[in-house]
Structure 1
Amino acid sequence: MSLDDPNKLEESVFKPTPITEILTKADPANRAIVLGKDFTSNHYAYFYPLISGYSAIKLQVIQDVIAHNLFNANTKEKINWNLINMLGGKYIISSNQINSDSIQTISTDNERKEILYLNPNSLPKAWFVKRVKTFATPEDVVLYMNETEFDPSAEALIVSKDASKTYNGNGSVKLLDQTPNSLEFNVNTDSTQFFVLSEIYYPKGWTAKLDDKELDILQVNHVMRGVEIDPGKHKLTFEFHPQTYYASVTAVWIGDILIWLLILGGGYLVFRKKRNIHED
């Protein structure tokens, strides 16, 4: 195969398989995770949103849960299904047989020697919880996430000196739109609720608004986001708008304009000088 044809090269590397046929038709609001020797491979990210994979700029909170939670749970197979569930891991890909009652085999790839499992317990993009449990340190949160009593569908873990809070968890959450820099939801509840978003917590640049009211985004379950929601029907939006980036873009534009003004001004002075010499 010639390396000169990028299209044929791409087709060869990312050719369809029984597993990718399922993933490409699946809801992109969910995610897949590769367990085993190919955990750091980004191959399946070509076809579907991926929890696992390699990134040279991985955030520390992500590395924390990989190192201390993912394979350190109090379960017989040591896999932290609560972590996978809260990150939306609907599909599990593994080169090894996973003996767990919580997942179902739905496909195999004999060529790559991999198995695709369906995880029916994975959580949606966002949901309401019934309690917010507080801890003294991030380390305490991470350790608690390995316990079997941790239930991410019902509780959110935060670092705070305040007392834990309870909610009834009633209401509806509907994802309207999602891009890399924004998410939009319709939320409807008859009382104050706590909303958990299955997206990585990154405080620099992300904002949350309930209609026109700005909300504080809390670090939830060490890696995710959460906000408290007022009663009623609302539009909830998350947007990434880093001030440093846009300030830098503005500075670059100003610099470009000044350079062009200097070039044009210098050209005009040279033109005037030549014309004066010609007239003399």
Structure 2
Amino acid sequence: LFALLPKLFFSSFVSASEMQALQSLPPEHIQPILANLTDMRVGLFTADAWRSFFIVAIGSATLWLFMEKKIRGEWMVAAILLLSLIDLWGVNKRYLSDDDFVASTQTQQQFTLTPTDQMILQDSTLYYRVLNMATSTFNDGVTPYHHKVIGGYHAAKLRRYQDLIDRHLTTEMGALQQAIIGSGGVLDSVNADPFKVLNMLNTRWVIMPAQGGGTLPVLNPHAMGNAWFVDEIRFVESADEEIETIGMLNLHHAAIADKKFEPLLDGLQVTPADSASTIRLLEYDSDYLIYEADAKKDELAVFSEIYYPKGWQITIDGKPAAMLRVNYTLRALPVPAGMHTIEFRFEPHSIRITDTIAYGALLIMLLTAVYLLLKKVKRKDTNHNNNH
């Protein structure tokens, strides 16, 4: 019925939002566009309806032949699998067709290392971030191919990080650019306060545009590193107050947090950090980070990593610990006095559960297959012995 009478079941093939968008066109153009849209979509709908009809009909016929014992079970299963493959192949090719594939050389040209990239990659520091101001920073898909970046594009960007971009980073990028131009690219003696949030995010390298379409790398010596101990922490009542306050603090010495995280300090009284206390990153990957801390007294460590509590397991010397959110987006952790190994591992409980179910199901399938195979072999042996 869908194939024969498509318009009987659907009064319109143009959505309300599309109709609203078309109202901006001259009235004489609207009706022809609506007619074309409707004809195209009715054609697609009808073609898919006929396609579904024939797949269901062939599948039903195959099952009927099996039930009437006109074909063996193996042939029925093979026919259904082949039919499913044909169905999936046709649909998948709509989204990933031959036209979507290009020569590897064409793709590699987009990601060729520039002299600037090569110079930055010579930096032996374990982990740092790069800010590319020679392109559209927050819609850039090339720089992240070679570096860990401040910008880049992702459709599922965290709302809090977007807030940080809108409230602080966009303004600070302008200030940093002026500082680089004014100092001739040597930032050692410039005032770093106008781009303190970028420093908090460990922005060690900046890519600047140069004449002739080229780029130049600039080292930022004010980047705060992977983690540091702070002298104090302040608590505020709201997210608005928190994001405003980080622009007023010396973030190397102070942190700001929502008051709801105060219990996670577990009684720690944050006092000025001991100058001999150190914390450094030992290992880094996308799903784990390992730090070594030498705290001369109880300290509060701030980590230049985005706070996201779901799935992250934190331990100090193998014992579970709880992190809090500071500076609107970062992680913080109370560290007791002494030498410690701090680990952040992304191990969501949901993944463990689904892995257990998946591997359990696979094991059951294998055992069932082995059982059926052994049963079939045993039956053949029994029949063979009976015949003799």
Which TM class, normalised by the smaller chain length? Answer: 0.7 to 0.9
1:133 to 216, 226, 234: 234
How far does the alpha carbon of each residue in 1:143-180 deviate from its partner, in whole angstroms, 9 at most, with x for none? 223x3x22211111211154995421121112222222
Tell me if the contact between 1:93 and 1:117 (Cα under 8 Å) persists in the aligned partners: yes
Report the counterpart of residue 155 of structure 2 in structure 1.
56
Name the CA distance, whole Å, in 2 between partners of 1:231 and 1:157. 22
Name the CA distance, whole Å, in 2 between partners of 1:211 and 1:55. 34
Tell me if the contact between 1:28 and 1:49 (Cα under 8 Å) persists in the aligned partners: no
Name the CA distance, whole Å, in 2 between partners of 1:254 and 1:218. 36
Q: Is residue 197 from structure 1 mapped to residue 303 from structure 2 by the alignment?
A: yes
Report the counterpart of residue 168 of structure 1 in structure 2.
272
How far does the alpha carbon of each residue in 1:74-104 deviate from its partner, in whole angstroms, 9 at most, with x for none? x867996122101111112244xxxxxxxxx
Q: Is residue 89 from structure 1 mapped to residue 89 from structure 2 by the alignment?
A: no
* 1:77–1:92 distance in 2 versus 1, CA, 3 Å: closer
Structure with bigger RCO (C-alpha 8 Å, 6+ apart): 1
* 1:76–1:61 distance in 2 versus 1, CA, 3 Å: closer
- 1:111-122 residue pairs with structure 2 within 5 A? 112-122=213-223
Q: Is residue 253 from structure 1 mapped to residue 359 from structure 2 by the alignment?
A: yes
Per mean C-alpha deviation after superposition, the further-off stretch among 248-257 and 39-48 is: 39-48
* 1:261–1:154 distance in 2 versus 1, CA, 3 Å: same
What SS does the aligned partner of 1:199 have? Answer: strand
How far residue 218 of structure 1 moved from its aligned partner, in angstroms, is 0.7
How far residue 49 of structure 1 moved from its aligned partner, in angstroms, is 1.3
Name the CA distance, whole Å, in 1 between partners of 2:358 and 2:231. 48
**Counterpart residue type for residue 236 of structure 2:** F
1:65 to 149, 164, 168: 164
Which structure has the highest helix share of the two? Answer: 2
Name the CA distance, whole Å, in 1 between partners of 2:224 and 2:204. 8
- Percentage identity across paired residues of the two chains: 21
Report the counterpart of residue 33 of structure 1 in structure 2.
131
Name the CA distance, whole Å, in 1 between partners of 2:176 and 2:200. 18
TM-score by length of 1: 0.82
How far does the alpha carbon of each residue in 1:236-275 deviate from its partner, in whole angstroms, 9 at most, with x for none? 2222222111221111100111112222223333444444
What SS does the aligned partner of 1:65 have? Answer: helix
Task: Please list every run of 5 or more consecutive structure 1 residues that lacks an aligned counterpart in the other structure.
Answer: 96-107
Report the counterpart of residue 291 of structure 2 in structure 1.
185
Per mean C-alpha deviation after superposition, the further-off stretch among 54-63 and 245-254 is: 54-63
Name the CA distance, whole Å, in 2 between partners of 1:14 and 1:23. 15
* 1:77–1:168 distance in 2 versus 1, CA, 3 Å: closer
Tell me if the contact between 2:143 and 2:149 (Cα under 8 Å) persists in the aligned partners: yes
Which structure has the highest strand share of the two? Answer: 1
Name the CA distance, whole Å, in 1 between partners of 2:284 and 2:175. 36
* 1:61–1:76 distance in 2 versus 1, CA, 3 Å: closer
Name the CA distance, whole Å, in 2 between partners of 1:35 and 1:83. 16
Report the counterpart of residue 98 of structure 1 in structure 2.
none
- 1:148-163 residue pairs with structure 2 within 5 A? 149-161=248-260, 162=262
Q: Is residue 24 from structure 1 mapped to residue 121 from structure 2 by the alignment?
A: yes
Coordinate RMSD, CA, aligned: 2.8
Per mean C-alpha deviation after superposition, the further-off stretch among 126-135 and 58-67 is: 58-67
Report the counterpart of residue 318 of structure 2 in structure 1.
212
